[in-house]
Structures are given as C-alpha cells and as structure tokens.
Structure 1
Amino acid sequence: MGVSVGPSGSSSIPKAWAHLPFFSERYQSIEATIAADPRDILPPAPQRFAALAACAPDAVRVVILGQDPYPTPGHAHGLSFSVEPDVGPLPRSLNNIYKEMVDDLGQAPRTGDLRPWAAQGVLLLNTVLSVPAGEANGHKDLGWQQLAHEVLSEVSQKPTAFVLWGKQAQALSKHIHPGDHLMIETAHPSPLSARRGFFGSKPFSRINDWLRNQGEQEINWTHA
C-alpha cells in the first residue's frame, strides 16, 4: 500500500487509515498552512505519510514513537528515526539506537534506512509529520499530534508492543487502550539522555521475546 500524490504535490491519505477523524477534522488546515509556508518543508510531501503507508492498522505489531522529522535536508523520509540509506554519519539518536542494538543483539543494520522494520509490522511514527528545514520541532503547533493520538488508540485494540523513549513519547501512553501490551518506557536515545536508562534497556530482544510468547514471528532488526 503506497501514498499517491495529487496534482498539487500533496500526499494522499493512506486508505487503510483514512477513517481516522483527524483526516476530516484537522488535516486540511494543516495542509493549507504548509502550502502557504515559503520555507523548505521536510520530508517531501509524497513521503509525509510513509510510516502509515507501510503499515496498515491490522499489520502493526510494534510502535516506535519519535518526535518530528529530521530537519536536515536529505535525511527524513517519513519514518521516525530512519534516514535515507546513503546518509552518513548517522544522526546521533539513531547511532545510539544502533549502539544499544549491538549490545543487545550483537549487530546492527549497515545503513540508517529502517524501512525493512516497517515491512515487518514496526510502525515508525513521529508525533509531528513535518518540519521546516533547519528548525527542529518547528511545526509542533500545527496540530499533527491528534493523528498520533488516534493511531495509538486504533492499534492498541489488539496486543501490541509500544516503545516510548523519553517523556514526550511517554506522555502519549494515555491514548493507548489497556490490554496485553508490551510497554517499553525508558530514556530517549539522544546523547543528552541515553545514559539515563536507554543504554542497557535491551528493547529489541525484549520485543522479540514478547512476540515469540504471543506466537508471532520475531522482528529481524539487523536485516541479516
């Protein structure tokens, strides 16, 4: 399932998620605001809903919440923490994620492209889906967060693994329906906080142990 692009260059709504109230209540005003913004807005419009396009609601097994897209041109492509495969060096948070993965699993992917995770049911969702180039969190007041709230409510109707790194992500746990979920809540992997509980948390093996106990296939995190 992909995201089509309309004549204006705006990204179309992924059909499997189109029933969420956000798309009829809020998205049109956000799109108009972005269209009127003269700055370079990231990621490019066709990639804005890439995370949702890669995982239909019934395919989601794991949710990893990010804040907003990388503000460096050429980095963000619509999935939280992920970058285009030719990006180097890796963003610092992703580098720390890979350091923890090596400690946890013994290896990490060769590039920062996390689309192979999405193909296995890992929803890499940012709470804000656009950012002006060079201005991290510059679109935090547009109203994107309503979409993240509704997505969490939707996918938590069945057992799901939720990875909430940092206080901003953890504040959204109230939108998760109670259930037989795996909740991983630790410090954020950013250099400012990774040593306060992210390093050593072994989220990847914990998720795979949980999936195995659910009778589900494990995630191949390292693309090996």
Structure 2
Amino acid sequence: MTDTELAANHDSTGNQAGAELAQKLSAWPGLLNRVDKSWYPALSTVSDEIIAAMSYASQGDYLPAEDDVFRALSLPLEKVRVLIVGQDPYPTPGHAMGLSFSTHPAATGAPPRSLANIYQELAADTGHAVTADGDLRPWHEQGVLLLNRVLTVAPGQAGSHRKQGWESVTEAILRALPAENLVAILWGKQAQECEKFLDCPAITSPHPSPLSARRGFFGSRPFSRANQYLTDQGCQPIDWQL
C-alpha cells in the first residue's frame, strides 16, 4: 500500500469504529463529541466497560459534564508528546472539565491545593512566574495528554466512581500510546501503577497533594526533565508557561 492508501484505510477503520461505538453509547449522545477519531479503535475494545462506568455514574449527578468526560481525547493520538496522569476529576462543582489537574476556565477562587503545588514546582523548575488561573488547556493544545485514571466522580465525593469500569477504559487508552517521542509524568502511587501499561520513559515522584508534596514532589523538576527527553529525541519541547 502507498502512504495515501494506508492513511485512507486508517480513516476508514476509525470511522467504522466510531460509528459502531456511537451506536453502543447512544444512551449518552454527547459522550463522544470531543473525541478525536484516532482513539476510536482503542475505545471500541472497552465499550462494555464504558457502558458500565457511565451507567453507574448516571444513577445520580456526576462530574464533569457528559461531553467533557472524554475531553482529554480531543488531542489526536499521534500528537501526544507528554502524558500526565491524574486520579479522578475534582469533586467540587464548577471545577472538573475533563483534563487532569485542570479547572474549568469559569471557575472562581483559589486553585485546588494540588494544582497550586504544581504551579509552585513549575515556577521553581522553569523560572517562569505563574499568573494563570487553573486552566491547563494551553498544555493540552501542545500535545500534553491530561488523563485521569477515573473519568467521572459524584459531586463532593472524591473517588466515588473508582472500580466501576473506568480503570479498564483508561488502561486501553494508555496501551494505545506509542513508545517513542513520548514521556510520561506520573505523580503518586496510583499514577505510577499505570507505568506497566506504557512503553515510553516515565518521570515519577510523589503526588502534588499537600499530604505528599514535600516528600519529593517539590524539587523533582518534571517539566524541564520532560523537555530534555523530548529535545534529546528531536522533538519540540513544551512551552509550560501559563
């Protein structure tokens, strides 16, 4: 096959997988609205687990909004350069928006404490003062996959949707990632459990939570280390400044 024929075959496969997946997930018509078609084959392998997780979440209110659940996957698979794994969405209404550690652009007040600690380490690591709110979309737009391990949560109840199917879904997403031109940043034990699903290098440290940030997160320099790996591989570094 020529490159053009291969690309056309890939598009056809993705479109077919997307149509079948949308049909299976028709109870949640907005769920795939933001998903790039490059992720459809991986998601199709775990459609039953998505249904189980969303059925559980839909028994009550859940965060983020339906069309934000897979927001991280609006980033095309082939454009992912850095992976940052979170635990589950912020349980505070108005904060969760589908990208790990990021808050909704309309959120008011101080950023969550873990994010504040990320900003503190970012400033120390890169030398850039952080003046932004909690919106991490500029990272996402450059190729940073901000993926939570569990993709929904009940308002005010952190961890409430664990072990309901999402872990299998995000495992499939992680296994779809390439081995080259990619580096993972894994904060805390839960994120580091994902390393076995990855073929790329990983930068690990304790979680930025106030409970563990001073046990090795501060001073770990994840942002400059990730960029060093990317440049060593001939890839464009991330502009981490917010």
Q: Pick from 91, 108, 133: which aligns with 2:112?
A: 91
Q: Pick from 31, 39, 50: which aligns with 1:17?
A: 39
Shift of 1:6: 6.5
Alpha-carbon distance in structure 1 between the residues aligned to 2:27 and 2:87: 29
Question: Is the contact made by 2:84 and 2:186 (CA closer than 8 Å) also made in structure 1?
Answer: yes
Q: Pick from 210, 223, 227: which aligns with 1:191?
A: 210
1:169 aligned partner = 191
Match of 2:184, SS state, is: strand
Q: What one-letter code is carried by the residue in structure 2 that aligns with 1:27?
A: I
Q: What one-letter code is carried by the residue in structure 1 that aligns with 2:52?
A: S
2:220 aligned partner = 201
CA RMSD of aligned residues (A): 1.9
1:28 aligned partner = 51
Spell out, residue by residue over 1:72-109, the C-alpha distance to the aligned partner (whole angstroms, 9 max, x if none): 00000000000023432000000000000111112225
Alpha-carbon distance in structure 2 between the residues aligned to 1:115 and 1:6: 28
Shift of 1:71: 0.1
Q: What one-letter code is carried by the residue in structure 2 that aligns with 1:31?
A: M
Alpha-carbon distance in structure 1 between the residues aligned to 2:41 and 2:125: 38
The residue correspondences of 1:6-155 to structure 2 (distance < 5 A) are 8=28, 10-12=30-32, 14=35, 15-20=37-42, 21-35=44-58, 37-38=59-60, 40-53=61-74, 55-87=75-107, 88-106=109-127, 107-155=129-177
Spell out, residue by residue over 1:19-75, the C-alpha distance to the aligned partner (whole angstroms, 9 max, x if none): 11444332122222223x13x20001011100011x111111000000000000000
Question: By percentage of residues, which structure has more helix?
Answer: 2
Q: What one-letter code is carried by the residue in structure 1 that aligns with 2:126?
A: L
Question: Is the contact made by 1:62 and 1:121 (CA closer than 8 Å) also made in structure 2?
Answer: yes
Alpha-carbon distance in structure 2 between the residues aligned to 1:81 and 1:70: 8
Select the structure of larger CA radius of gyration.
2
Alpha-carbon distance in structure 2 between the residues aligned to 1:6 and 1:124: 26
Alpha-carbon distance in structure 2 between the residues aligned to 1:216 and 1:141: 36
Identity of aligned pairs, percent?
Answer: 45
Q: With structure 1 as the length reference, what TM-score do the two structures score?
A: 0.89
Q: With structure 2 as the length reference, what TM-score do the two structures score?
A: 0.83
More moved, 88-97 vs 156-165:
156-165
Alpha-carbon distance in structure 1 between the residues aligned to 2:179 and 2:232: 18
Alpha-carbon distance in structure 2 between the residues aligned to 1:109 and 1:158: 33
Shift in alpha-carbon separation, 1:189–1:33, aligned structure 2, 3 A: same
Shift in alpha-carbon separation, 1:96–1:192, aligned structure 2, 3 A: same
Structure 1 unaligned blocks of 5 or more: none
